[in-house]
Structure 1
Amino acid sequence: MRKVLVIGSPGAGKSTLAQQLGVITGLPVIHLDRLYFRPNWVEPSLEEWISIQEDLVQRDAWIIDGNYGKTLDIRLQVADTVIFLDFSRYVCLWRVLKRIKQHYGHTRDDMAEGCEERFDGEFLRYIWQFPHDQRPRILDQLRERQQRGTHIIHLRRSSDISRLLQSLTTSLGTGKHRF
């Protein structure tokens, strides 16, 4: 386990899990939101973003959190482990609303400088539609990657995350690095 991809709906807990995995494994954590956005939520061109992704995946080891569907395949092709946080839209919306309330007007640690937390109706709509619009495509991509030998971990509840982290902590203590 050297290249770990954490994906899922906004609000599923990707950044939090990536941070926890980084602490346990010692692997460097890369938050795609920090790299994607420029100050004031300015987005890079698709060509620039593809180039950034191609450079990132060449690193020896990483934990990357984030979806970015147009470039997801670049990361999927190289990841040896993919963790899909597949939580209900209600859980994800609740978490994002709590996050907005907590960080409103401030930049979170996992975001690019100058991208202050804000209320964005379109973003909330994206979360609501994620199970319909994004999830089927992601599941198809994960099935394909699993057939090619990528270790896929599909988590549906917070308790699944707790078990995963406990299992990983135990396995690293015994020298077994696969969870």
Structure 2
Amino acid sequence: MKRIVVYGVTGSGKSTLARAIGERTGLPYHAVDDLTWEPGWVEVPADVQRSRIAAVCAGEEWVLDSAYMSWLDVPMARAQLIVGLDLPQWLCLVRLLRRTVSRAITRTPVCNGNTESLRELFTRDSIIRQQFASYPRKRRRMRQWQHDPSMPPIVLLRSPRAVRAWLDTM
């Protein structure tokens, strides 16, 4: 498999796993947030996002750490494998909170020099709120893909132990 999409909710470990897959296989890893956010947390227009993702997906080898609905069809048309992180919501939430608080305190750049802040945790656009809103939809989508013959093969991983075990097979 040379074209892989890692899919899951915010905080599930998509970027960590996609990076590890790239390191183990030598496949180029692409952080989707770097393609979809500009400095100052300016969202890249949807048509530009789509063209950036299309350029990546035109290649013969890649690992993406997400797939957004506005251009989901682009990587899915070429993906050879989907790795779905179907982890419990409480675990994703704990990871997300820990990561966000740590990055906010240390001012660690996330993508294109952007940083997170504790204040943002309590806004309408909070990453925590987004996680709660997207969790049921993304989980349902992954499980539907598993039974859809038109989709690439999907590996659903439901625990950190399963993720580690699967990664050891790479």
On whether the aligned pair clears a TM of 0.5, the verdict is: yes
- d(CA) in 2 for partners of 1:30, 1:20: 12
Number of matched pairs: 163
Cα offsets for 1:71-127 (capped at 9, x unmatched): 11211111001000011221111111111122113213xx222x1022334321121
Distance 1:149 1:67, change over 3 A: closer
Residue 48 (str. 1) matches residue 48 (str. 2): yes
Matches within 5 A, 1:77-116: 77-104=77-104, 105-108=107-110, 111-113=111-113, 115-116=114-115
Give the residue type in structure 2 aligned to 1:124. I
Distance 1:149 1:69, change over 3 A: closer
User: What's 1:120 paired with?
Assistant: 121
Q: 2:150 aligns with which of 148, 151, 155?
A: 148
- d(CA) in 2 for partners of 1:137, 1:100: 25
User: What's 2:141 paired with?
Assistant: 137
Matches within 5 A, 1:16-55: 16-55=16-55
- d(CA) in 2 for partners of 1:50, 1:120: 28
Query: How well do the aligned residues superpose, as a CA RMSD in angstroms?
Result: 1.6
Distance 1:76 1:149, change over 3 A: closer
User: What's 1:161 paired with?
Assistant: 163
Contact 1:28 1:63 survives alignment (8 Å): yes
2:144 partner SS: helix
Please list every run of 5 or more consecutive structure 2 residues that lacks an aligned counterpart in the other structure.
none
Please list every run of 5 or more consecutive structure 1 residues that lacks an aligned counterpart in the other structure.
169-179
Contact 1:4 1:81 survives alignment (8 Å): yes
1:116 partner SS: coil
1:143 partner SS: coil
Contact 1:89 1:130 survives alignment (8 Å): no
Q: CA deviation at 1:39?
A: 0.4
- d(CA) in 1 for partners of 2:138, 2:18: 21
Deviates most, 14-23 or 99-108 = 99-108
- d(CA) in 2 for partners of 1:50, 1:149: 20
Give the residue type in structure 1 aligned to 2:116. E
Q: CA deviation at 1:57?
A: 0.6
